[in-house]
Amino acid sequence: MAGILKVTVLEAKNLKSEDLLGKNDPYVVLWVDPNHKQKTSVKNQAGAHATWNEQFSFAVNQDDHKTLHLTVLDQDLIHDDKIGSGSFSFSQLGPQPVDVWVPLPAHLFFSHGEVRLSVSYHKA
């Protein structure tokens, strides 16, 4: 069923360091449809932990898979480095916000950190 997905990117913790010198400058890219991505502001010199408290809304079509995707990147002068990616299924959500930590898994038993979201889904 079509509707509106409301997402607040709250914070991230334990982000894998991508900088040899200095600290991560992380930002988060979010999407339901890969043709309509949105992103947070960059948190300069945040390191392994960052706080955003930024809100986003996504129009969800009936044909869309009910999954929110996110990628955390480290902004650099030449090329932004990928810290990690994760996803969250919102097919069972309702209009009440749910607080969730989305892991950024790595290979084997390692983690690239977690992103905390507040998410709600309002059916049309």
Q: What is the pLDDT of residue 65?
A: 78
Q: Cα(61)–Cα(112) distance, rounded to whole angstroms? A: 31
Domain span including residue 63: 3-117
Give the pLDDT score at 20: 65
Domain containing residue 36: CATH number: 2.60.40.150
**Residue 122 belongs to some domain of the structure:** no
* Average pLDDT, 10 consecutive residues per value, the chain (124 residues): 92 85 90 95 94 96 86 92 94 92 83 95 88
* Residue 3 structure tokens: 């509707």
> Considering its fold, how many domains does the chain have in total?
1
Q: Is residue 62 part of a domain?
A: yes
pLDDT of the residue at 17: 85
For residue 11, being part of any structural domain is answered with: yes
The structure tokens 């996803």 sit at: 87
Decide if 124 is inside a domain: no
Written as six digits, the tokens of 117 are 């979201």
Question: Is 123 contained in some domain?
Answer: no
> Is residue 98, in this structure, part of any structural domain at all?
yes
Q: Is residue 86 part of a domain?
A: yes
Instruction: Report how far residue 71's alpha carbon sits from residue 113's, in angstroms, rounded to the nearest whole number.
Output: 11
